[in-house]
Structure 1
Amino acid sequence: MFTVRPVRTSDLPAIERLALASGIGVTSLPNNREKLFERIQQSASAFEHEATGASSRDYYMFVLEHGGNVVGTASICASAGFDEPFYSYRSETAVHASRALGVHNRIHVLNICHDLTGTVQLCGFYVDGGLDAIAAELMSRARLLFIAGERERFGRRVIAEMQGMHDDAGQSPFWNAIGRRFFNMDFLQVEQAFVSHSKTFIAELMPSYPVYVPLLPDEAQQSIGQIHPHFERVCQLLCKEGFEADNYLDIFDGGAVLTAELDRLKTVEQSRGHPVEIQASLPAQASLQLLSNDRLAGFAATAARVAVVDGVAFINPDAAKALGVSSGDAVRVAGLQQA
């Protein structure tokens, strides 16, 4: 049975393995032992304190466990750019017109901004290749079950950066057309700089004036807002939740930044809490759904068969063990997207 729980310090070797396997471009899951340990410690602190409203410094990291092995991870940053601005490109249209010449042109431009600073961010998602769709869905949506149960800890808007296009050698056409000209660094080098140093280098070196898209090479133009094939599955999951590709782009690779109103996401809006009853033989209407307990540090989520009858959630002993609940405890139930 797959189970999602908060990360522990002892998970560091497994998180390192996942970070290495995630490859190029996932800056929210850096292949850097020191940074990963720092995030695990930050997560442990966030799960320990009681809710006092949305805290800008809270970072929650979760792992997907199966048979005692960690096979996936995903995180929530309660406030993107909590210590420095969160930079992105805003995609806009500039109008250039001349009445004398009878010319009226609408030109696609990109403006650097930090509009998304302070939003809730879903980040650090990666699951081992070969896992089934339900395992990936559980890893992604368990974060939203946690948010639904701890709603006072999080703000109104939520974002998720999608990895943009790059090849196996780490060459990003978007980066090569813009960022490389100002940084004199390739995409892999700037990714490491992003992990290791202050993000203020973005404001210091990136152009502050609009970037006129028609002046970029064709390959760079075609990559704008595109999503790397490795991120297609997670993008589909988030879009089914209610995320949309807005007018924002990742500042490095031009990948889409998905946005949503947190309370309108299906898991947050439609999931319900129920008292639980444990029995080996479930009612005939039982179906496979997502479940989570109502704990904080002891949070757990899984996919299991459940039947909700007269407001009571009936689950079997295996599901109860995975969630750490007893009869009379509360569980949150959400329907599967894959169903």
Structure 2
Amino acid sequence: MYVVRPARTADLPAIEKMAVASGIGVTSLPNNREKLFERIQQSLDAFEHDADLDAGKEYYMFVLEAHGQVVGTASISACAGFDEPFYSYRSETFVHASRTLKVNNKVHVLTMCHDLTGLVQLCGFYSEPAIDALAIELLSRARFLFIASQQQRFGRRVVAEMQGIHDAAGQSPFWDAIGRRFFDMDFVEVEQAFASRSKTFIAELMPAYPIYVPLMPGAAQQAIGQIHPDFERPFGILGREGFEADNYIDIFDGGAVLTADVDRLYTVRTSSCHPVEVTASLPASANLRLASNEKVADFAATLVQAEVVDGVAFVNPDGALALGVASGDTIRLAPLQVGPEGEPA
């Protein structure tokens, strides 16, 4: 059985292995043992504290557990850029016109900004390659079940950066066209610097003036707003959840930046809370659903066979055990978006 729960200190070796396996591009899961340990400790503090303490600073790290083994991780930052601005490129159109020459040209430009600073940020997502589609959906959407349950801890807009295009050697055509010219560092080096150091170097070295896209090489232009193949499944889940590619891209690899209103997220809109009745004899109409308890430090989410009858959620004993609930407790249920074969439900 798959269970999503808060990360613990004992999970550090498994999370470190996933950070190594994730390669470049997932800067929110740094290949740095000390940084990972700090994030686990920050997460433990966030889960233990009341919502009004250190508002905005909280970082929540979750892990996906299968048969006692940690096989995935995903996080929520309550406030993107809490300590420093959250940088991105805003995609815009400039108009260059001359009445004398009767010329009116629209030109695509990229402008560095921190418009998205302060939004809730989804980050640190990684799952082992062999994990099936249902488990990946659980890992991603468990965060929305937690947000739905603990809305006082989060803002009303959420952002997620998608990994952009780079080749097998870790070279990014977008970075080569822009960032390399100002940093004199290759993509792998700057990703490592971004994950382990202060982000102020972005403002110090990146061009503050608009970048004219038509002046960029063709490969770099084609990379704008694209998503690395490894992120297609997470992207699909977020798309069904209600995220859209806004007018922003990642400043390093040009990958898509997705945003959504928390209240319009599919999981938030369709989930509902019910008292639990644990039974081995489920109604014939019971089907597989996402479920979570309403706890904070002991939060848990899993997939359960359940049915709601007269407002009561009937669940099987295995599901109740995974959630840490008993008859009379409250759980939150949400419909699946993909079926057992990985196709939309």
- TM-score normalised over the length of structure 2: 0.97
The question of 1:264 aligning with 2:264 is answered yes
Give, as a single letter, the amino acid of the residue that structure 1 aligns with 2:172. S
Distance of 1:196 and 1:3 partners within structure 2: 30
2:334 is matched by which residue type in structure 1? A
Instruction: Give the aligned partner of residue 230 of structure 1.
Output: 230
- State the one-letter code of the partner of 1:290: L
Partners of 1:53 and 1:155 in 2: how far apart?
A: 15
Aligned to 1:94, the other structure's residue is in SS state: strand
Letter in 1 for 2:16: E
Please say if residues 2 and 302 of structure 2, whose CA atoms lie closer than 8 Å, have aligned partners that are also in contact: yes
> 2:5 and 2:254 mapped to 1: Cα distance?
32
Residue in 1 aligned with 2:98? 98
SS in 2 for 1:247: strand
Structure 1: stretches of 5+ with no match in the other structure = none
Distance between the aligned counterparts of 1:107 and 1:96, measured in 2? Answer: 7
Does the 8 A contact of 1:120 with 1:154 survive in 2?
yes
Distance 2:212 2:191 in 1: 24
Instruction: Please give the secondary structure, in 2, of the residue aligned with 1:44.
Output: helix
In structure 2, distance between residues paired with 1:106 and 1:217 = 19
Contact 2:162/2:257 (8 A) holds in 1: yes
Answer whether contact 1:53 1:152 (CA < 8 A) is retained: no
Q: Supply the distance in 2 between the matched residues of 1:290 and 1:55 (Cα, whole angstroms).
A: 28
Q: Which 5+ residue runs of structure 2 have no aligned equivalent? A: 339-344
Q: Which amino acid aligns with 1:279?
A: T
Using the TM superposition, give the Cα deviation of residue 181 of structure 1 relative to its aligned residue in structure 2, in angstroms: 0.2
CA distance in 2, matches of 1:173, 1:15: 29
Does the CA contact (< 8 Å) of 1:223 and 1:254 recur in 2? yes
Q: Deviations over 1:245-293 (max 9, x none)?
A: 0000000000000000111101011100000000001001100000000
Is the 2:30–2:196 contact (alpha carbons within 8 Å) kept by the matching residues of 1? no
* Alpha-carbon distance in 2 for matches of 1:138, 1:3: 8
Report the alpha carbon displacement of residue 304 of structure 1 after superposing the two structures with TM: 1.2
Alignment map for 1:24-35 (pairs within 5 Å): 24-35=24-35
Equivalent residue of 2:92, what SS? strand
Supply the AA of the counterpart residue of 2:198.
S
Q: Give the share of equivalent positions with the same residue, in percent.
A: 71
- Kindly provide the CA deviation profile for residues 165-188 of structure 1, in whole angstroms up to 9, marking residues without a partner as x: 001101000000000000000000
Counterpart of 2:78 in structure 1 is 78
Alpha-carbon distance, 1:54 to partner = 8.2
Q: Secondary structure at the match of 2:158?
A: strand
- Secondary structure of 2:100's counterpart equals coil
TM-score normalized with structure 1 length: 0.99
Equivalents in 2 of 1:235, 1:155: separation in Å? 22
Whether the aligned pair in 2 keeps the contact of 1:7 and 1:44 (CA below 8 Å) is yes
Q: Deviations over 1:145-166 (max 9, x none)?
A: 0000000000011000000000
Pairs within 5 Å for 1:162-311: 162-311=162-311
- Structure 2 CA distance for aligned equivalents of residues 335 and 196 of structure 1: 38
What SS is found at the alignment partner of 1:31?
coil
Show the counterpart of 1:139: 139
3-state secondary structure, aligned to 1:30: coil
Partner-residue secondary structure (3-state), 2:299:
coil
Counterpart code for 2:93: T
Asked if the contact 1:54/1:153 (under 8 Å) is kept, the reply is: no
**Aligned residues of 1:54 and 1:78 also touching (Cα < 8 A):** no
Helix, strand or coil for the counterpart of 2:55?
coil
Counterpart-to-counterpart distance in 2, 1:61 and 1:272? 23
